[in-house]
Amino acid sequence: MTKKIALITGITGQDGAYLARLLLKKNYIVHGIIRKSSSFNTGRINDIYQEPFIKKKSLFLHYGDLTSFASINSVISEIKPHEVYNLAAQSHVMVSFKNPEYTSDVNALGTLRILESIRQNKLEKKTKFYQASTSELFGNPKFKSQSEKTPFYTRSPYGTSKLFSYWITKNYRESYGIFAANGILFNHESPLRGETFVTKKISKGLSNIYLKKQKILYIGNLDSMRDWGHAKDYVYAQWLILQQKKPLDLVISTGRKYSVRDFIERCCKYLGWRIFWNGKGVNEYGYLILKNKKIKIIQVSAKYFRPNELNSLKGDSSLAKRKLKFKLKYNIDKLIEEMMSYDLKNKKS
C-alpha cells in the first residue's frame, strides 16, 4: 500500500510538531517547510528529526517561505502531496498591530499561494488542503458561544488576515473543486507553546518565581476570557477534517471559557499557592502570603493590552463532534498540569 504524503507548513511550530508526530505514527511520509535562518530552529521536532543521509526516511524538511510563491510551488510540484496542512502564520495578535503588512503577506497571501500552487500543478483531485483558521475571526460577538453560523467581526490585523485566508479557501473549493477545509480552532496550548503567548508566559513565569529565578510576572488583561484546549486534541481534529468524504469548515473548541485570572489561579494551585488580588485595572496586582509576608508576584501592565481588546470567546463545536466523532482527552487542569510540570522540569536542569 502506497504511503500517504503530507506537507506541513509551520512544522517547527507547536501544532506542526504535534501533527508531524501524529502523521508519522499513522505511517505517513511527512514533508515540512521551514524558513531559512542563521540558526536551525527545529527544537520542537528534534526527537523526530532525521538526518539527510538516512536511507529510509519518513520525515523531510524543505526551506521555503509563504511570502514567496516560487519557493512554495517548488516543494508542492516536487512532492505532489496527498494532504497539505497550512499551519504557518504570523500568529501573535499584538505583533500584527505593529507589523500588519508582513502579517497579511504571510497569513492571507500565503494561503492563496499554496492554493494557487495546487491548482497550477493540476492537483485538484489529488491534494486535500487544510487551512488553520482561528477564533479571532469572531471578534467580540454578541452570542454566548460561537459556531460555524456566527457572523465574523475581526478585531485585529491578525484576525483580518485570517479572514481572507478563510474565504479564499472556500473560494478555491467552490471554484476549482479542491478539497479545501477550514478548521476554526479556538485557543489551544501545550508545553510547546511559544513564550510570547499568555498561557506559556504564565506557566513559565510562575515556574521561574517558584524556583526563585524571577520575582514578578507582568501581565495584560486579567479578565479576558478564552476557550483553552490542548494542541494534541486539536491537531487530531485537523487530521480528522481531511479524512472526511467532503470538505467542511468546522469549529474546534472545548465549549468552556476561563479568564486569564483563573488560569493564573489554577497554575498557582498546582504549585500549592493561593493567590490574592488587590487594586483595579492597570493598578491591580496579585500576591502571596508566605511566612506572614505579603509578596507581590503578579503586576498588570498596560504594555500588554491590545489596541482593540477582544474580551470573551467560547466555541460551540457541536457540528465537529457529530461529523468527526471528535472527543477531547484534555481539560484545562490536565493542560495546566502538563505545562507546569514541563516548565518546572526544564528550569531545574
pLDDT in tens, 210-266: 999 999 999 999 999 999 999 999 999 999 999 999 999 999 999 999 999 999 999
* Cell numbers standing for residue 291: 511566612
Mean pLDDT of the chain: 93
Question: Which residues participate in catalysis according to the annotation?
Answer: 134, 136, 158
Closest Cα partner for 258 from 207, 308, 189? 189
What pLDDT was estimated at residue 69? 97
The answer to whether position 51 is within a domain reads yes
The answer to whether position 35 is within a domain reads yes
Place of cell 470573551: 312
- Residues 81-107: what's their mean pLDDT? 95
The answer to whether position 199 is within a domain reads no
**pLDDT digits over 324-346, tens only?**
998 999 999 999 999 999 999 98
The answer to whether position 29 is within a domain reads yes
What pLDDT was estimated at residue 240? 98
Confidence of residue 50 (pLDDT cuts 50, 70, 90): low
Place of cell 504535534: 18
- Per the CB < 8 A criterion, the answer to whether 299 and 216 are in contact is yes
Q: How far apart are CA 349 and CA 217, in angstroms?
A: 21
Closest Cα partner for 219 from 297, 276, 313? 297
What pLDDT was estimated at residue 38? 41
Give the number of domains in the chain.
1
Domain of 48 in residue numbering reads as 5-191+228-256+310-330
Contacts 24+ apart (CB under 8 A), 101-106: 103/157, 103/158, 103/161, 104/157, 104/160, 104/161, 104/164, 105/66, 105/67, 106/66, 106/67, 106/161
Q: Model's pTM, two decimal places?
A: 0.92
* Cell numbers standing for residue 279: 487594586
What pLDDT was estimated at residue 44? 81
CATH number at residue 131: 3.40.50.720
The answer to whether position 129 is within a domain reads yes
The answer to whether position 263 is within a domain reads no
The answer to whether position 266 is within a domain reads no
**Helix axes of 110-120 and 157-176: crossing angle, nearest 10 degrees:** 20
Q: Phi then psi for 308, rounded to 5 degrees?
A: -135, 90
The CA R_g of the chain, rounded to the nearest whole Å, is 21
The answer to whether position 17 is within a domain reads yes
Is 60 exceeded by the pLDDT of residue 285? yes
